[in-house]
Amino acid sequence: MAEQEASQGHKNEKVGAVVSTKMQKTIVVEVSRRVPHPLYKRIIGKRKKFYAHDEEGTAKTGDVVRIVECRPLSKLKRWRLVEVVRRAAQVGAQPSVLDVKV
């Protein structure tokens, strides 16, 4: 695998949180970064959303994932999921607690 990466060159990687999994095989990842304001030099937070390819559908909303750039897969998708860094906490409630009829 290392030889394959060496032949393709260095790919850009980003780490962010999954904000949407409503599409098939596609996730939306929001990447946040802190940069100084160009004029006032105060640190501000910037964020951007990236559409990434998730072949197996492993990522869920709230997960922290690593994505890597790849060839264009569609009009907006230019990234693919490499790994799930941290899973989101799953909140499970019993239907009796929620007063939901099953």
- Position 2 pLDDT exceeds 60: no
The tens digit of pLDDT for each residue in 85-95 reads: 999 888 776 66
Domain 2-98 indexed as CATH 2.160.10.10: no
What local confidence, expressed as pLDDT, does residue 97 receive? 61
Contact 63, 18 (CB under 8 A): yes
Domain boundaries, the chain: 2-98
How confident is the model over 22-65, as pLDDT tens digits? Answer: 999 999 999 999 999 999 999 999 999 999 999 999 999 999 99
* Confidence (pLDDT) at 12: 95
Q: CB–CB of 67/48 below 8 Å?
A: no
70 contacts 52 by C-beta, under 8 angstroms: no
Instruction: Note whether 29 and 53 are within 8 A (CB).
Output: no
CA-to-CA distance for 25 and 11, rounded, in angstroms? 21
* Residues 54-83: tens digit of each pLDDT: 999 999 999 999 999 999 999 999 999 999
Residue 6 — very low, low, confident or very high, per pLDDT cuts 50/70/90?
A: low
Distance between CA atoms of residues 12 and 94, nearest Å:
43
